[in-house]
Amino acid sequence: MSVPGLSINFATVRQLGDFGAIVDGCLKHGITAISPWREHIHAVGLDEAARIVKANGLTVTGVCRGGFFPAPDETGRRAAIDENLRCIDEAAALGADCLVMVVGGLPKGSKDIKGARAMVADGLAAILPHARAAGVPIAIEPLHPFYAADRACVNMLGQALDLCDALGDGIGVAIDVYHVWWDPDLDAEIARAGAGGRILAHHICDWLVPTVHVLNDRGMMGDGVIDLKRFRAMIEAAGFHGAQEVEIFSEVWGAKPGDEVLATCVERFRTAC
């Protein structure tokens, strides 16, 4: 039986193996939407990844990931832009709904977060013409503030939307519940994102109490404190009816058989989301 509306981010079931093995696992459970990481694409080759997607009629809800624009010097910033242009081409080859951006944190040795954010804006502006020409929407993913220094200096949905407004067409946001559920302005910012047609992806998992590791202790939907049904209602009220993409970085779930993880994702998608 198919499970419409559910997408699996490959990070959730890395233990299944390569691109083809993860796709086979998803298809076994009726899941026909995926979000691969570039490492999985590169391991089998872009042509083979695209063949697998086409042969199985899959929807690619996003490719993870572009970004990491800030760098200590112009050479590093130029290299980041060039790498992001390659990311766009890969997403285009897979027919992805968007290319997810983890924008990057402080350059090595820097304490200038405003400067890092300016580099992000400049980097996004540099790649947008190519993304528009390739038909690949760019999805900024704001990350929780505990990632501000090393992974993403864009941390609130409002920040990401301000960037989108400044940059124009072809760019929006990936709204991950793990990163923004706590935001006191969440309701208004989701509505704002929807009004501007900026919602490109919706990622789900749960926030555990306690959380013992900021990266690798995400919860399975229903195991934590995020009101996922209310969150989804806000997303849909804002006009986004695309798939809910399960993205769980977890040492606990990563140690379980991938087939069990996928079965649980389907069950929780139906009951908790």
Max CA pair span of the chain? 52
CA dihedral in degrees (222, 228, 232, 234; nearest 10)? 170
Per residue in 44-83, pLDDT (tens digit) is: 999 999 999 999 999 999 999 999 999 999 999 999 999 9
Length of the chain: 273
Q: Which CATH class is domain 6-272?
A: alpha beta
Sheet of 199-204: strand order equals: 59-60, 33-35, 6-9, 244-246, 199-204, 171-176, 138-140, 99-102, 63-67
Per residue in 11-45, pLDDT (tens digit) is: 999 999 999 999 999 999 999 999 999 999 999 99
At 1 the pLDDT is 76
Beta bridge partners of 249: none
Low-confidence ranges of the chain (pLDDT < 70): none
Q: Which long-range contacts (CB under 8 A, 24 or more apart) does 220-223 make?
A: 220/248, 220/250, 220/253, 220/264, 220/265, 220/268, 221/246, 221/265, 221/268, 221/269, 221/272, 221/273, 222/268, 222/271, 222/272
At 2 the pLDDT is 92
Locate the domains of the chain by residue range. 6-272
Q: 100 Cβ partners below 8 Å, 6+ apart?
A: 35, 62, 63, 64, 65, 66, 139, 141, 174, 201
22: left (phi over 0), alpha (psi -120 to 50) or beta: alpha
DSSP of 61-100: --EEEEE----SSHHHHHHHHHHHHHHHHHHHHTT-S-EE
Cα–Cα distance, 258 to 132 (Å, whole number): 36
C-alpha count within 13 angstroms, C-beta hemisphere, residue 181: 19
